[in-house]
A and B are shown apart, each in its own frame.
Chain A
Amino acid sequence: MKKTQVLITIFILILIIFPVFVTSHYFLSTLVFIAINSIAALGLFLLTGLAGQISLGQSAFFGIGAYVYAILTTKFNFPSLLTLLLLSPLGAGIMAAITGIPVLRFHGHILAVATLGLALVMYTIFVGMVSVTGGHAGISSIPHLSIGKVELNTDVHYYYLSWGLILLLLLISQNIIRSRVGRAAQSIHHILGGSEEAAMMLGINPMIYKLQMYILSAMYAGLAGGVYASYVTFVNPSPFNVLVSLMILVIIIVGGIGSMWGAVIGSVAVFLFRELMRFAIPIAFPTVGGEFEIIGWGILLIGMLLLAPGGLIQLPQHLYQKLSRKSRYK
């Protein structure tokens, strides 16, 4: 435990002083996006990693958060701080509450398809309700976040905002994991070893905890969406399509589905992988356009699942076990 705490403290210190040394727009904005993705991925971790409910619907909640912020601040002049911190997550949460009740009765592949269907429907609504969302053209001139009189309009501002938020959420998530609620959620994770029947026999109503995790994860994604909208100042449906949901799932798998830090590690790893592909593919296949990188994602996904199912966070332990000469009981 001590070692982890030291690592985390070092990590936070590096985070704090980083912008002093690195001022390039490219680097800082990349880090902002990594943090935003981590928030959405952390939400998914609570639902899928902790409670074991597979969901391919995060893109929908991400989008709702973004559009709520966009619409309320541009068309109704809501204060940006209130909207971002409260109303974006709330909007996503409400949608989760409504869709969760029918959908969470399913398990496994049916649940996956159902959440995928919801994400698809949400995307269709983003595109279709042109009067509200602006359709494919989207909404522009979205105001940046302002705290009191201070407007956050630089990369550095958003760097501290987004990383501050993800650290806060990690803290909150840790509290939840180690609590009565967290234990109840883990007890029903039937893939990793929980059992809904055993949990019921201890007085737990599985539906309540599935729903709570579902709503919570949606709120995380909604918050991420709000930050995204206020940073980029422009939203249209394309960052909220179904493939994005899949990407978020890839992030927690690559990072490690057993730990909340997997969300952050996964976001960084996925970003690095994307850069690698952007660099390597034109060399290997000079005539090919952008979407070709999807093959890389396929290979990454399959590679991780087959070779290192515990994700990157398990990698040191995994390698240690493989290389260790001591025979073990298991």
Chain B
Amino acid sequence: MEPFLKIDSVSKDFGGLRAVDRVSFDIERGSITSIIGPNGAGKTTIFNLITGLLRPSEGNIYFKNQKLNRLPTYRIVSMGISRTFQNLRLFTNLKVVENILVGRHLQGRANLLSIILRVPWVKIEERQNFEEAIKLINLFTLEGVAFSLTSSLPFGYQKRVAIARALATKPELLLLDEPAGGLTSQEIEEIKQVLIRVRESGVTIILVEHRMELVMDVSEKIIVLHHGRKLAEGTPKQIQEDQRVIDVYLGQI
């Protein structure tokens, strides 16, 4: 059986710089995988390649047996992949609940014509959207700030909004780019619980992460990147004992 997500010998060049160098790995459905590596190792680039913000210079990316290489981002998202950004990119011109509602975009059918004509199912759909958004708000304990502008929130809250928004698309595969960045240990513990619940609901998760507390506790598999190449792949225990990883990460864990 073909793997859920297949990265097949993918490379990405930026002018003279090879940011990703013939990286290959597979992701099993329902798993939690972490991609780690020093800064500049190519981790976020891999996310950009999977989600279509960048095109691979070489190699192929397959999701549920379909080739993603040349597809536009919104198409890839409609196939069931969602992601958060390292710098969040929340819609600061919208409130928290509205951000999440935008996440529900693909679940809706309302278009300009049906909205102008005030067709009845539009209202029903909006109500449904709202109910689903509230569920996510509850999951991430954002009740108090649901109607605030995201720009006025503390960073920890903003992070939760970002993940909630990505989840609103009802993805099968969720890519989280440094979800623990800038969080306190307490907040990381909360994120960990959320991730486990999300995985239990059937979503496959890939993390790019620096905070090892989260990585080691929650991942089934870890992939280590260095200078754009895959250095090692294995369970947390295997990675912790891998000499090459220790050499590269000397003093960084």
Contacts and interface: CB of A to CB of B under 8 A. Distances in A.
Interface of A: 172, 175-176, 179-181, 183-184, 186-187, 189, 192-195, 197-205, 212, 216, 329-330
B239 interface: no
Interface of B: 51-53, 72-74, 77-78, 82-83, 85, 89-94, 98, 101-106, 108, 110-112, 115-116, 118, 122, 125-126, 129, 151-152, 165-166, 168-169
Contact of B91 (A172, A187, A212, A329): A187
B105 A183 contact: yes
Contacts of B85: 197-198, 201
Contact of B74 (A181, A205, A216): A205
A46 to B, nearest CB: 11
18 contacts: A176-B112, A176-B115, A179-B122, A180-B104, A180-B115, A181-B115, A183-B105, A186-B94, A186-B98, A193-B94, A193-B151, A198-B90, A198-B91, A199-B102, A201-B51, A202-B102, A204-B74, A204-B102
A229 B125 CA distance: 40
Nearest to A189: B93
B151 A201 contact: no
Given A176-B115, A179-B122, A181-B112, 8 more contacts: A175-B118, A183-B101, A183-B102, A184-B105, A194-B91, A201-B83, A204-B74, A204-B105
B196 to A, nearest CB: 24
A204 B91 CA distance: 14
A184 B53 CA distance: 19
A6 to B, nearest CB: 22
Nearest to A215: B112
B165 A183 contact: no
Given A183-B102, A203-B77, A203-B105, A195 B111 contact: no
A208 to B, nearest CB: 9
B130 to A, nearest CB: 11
Residue among A183, A199, A202, A330 with max Cβ neighbours from chain B (10 Å): A202
Contacts of A192: 92-93
Given A202-B106, A203-B78, A194 B93 contact: yes
A205 B105 contact: no
A183 B110 contact: no
Given A176-B112, A198-B91, A187 B102 contact: yes
Contact of A200 (B73, B122, B166): B73
Contacts of B122: 179
Nearest to B98: A183
B53 A330 contact: no
A186 B92 CA distance: 10
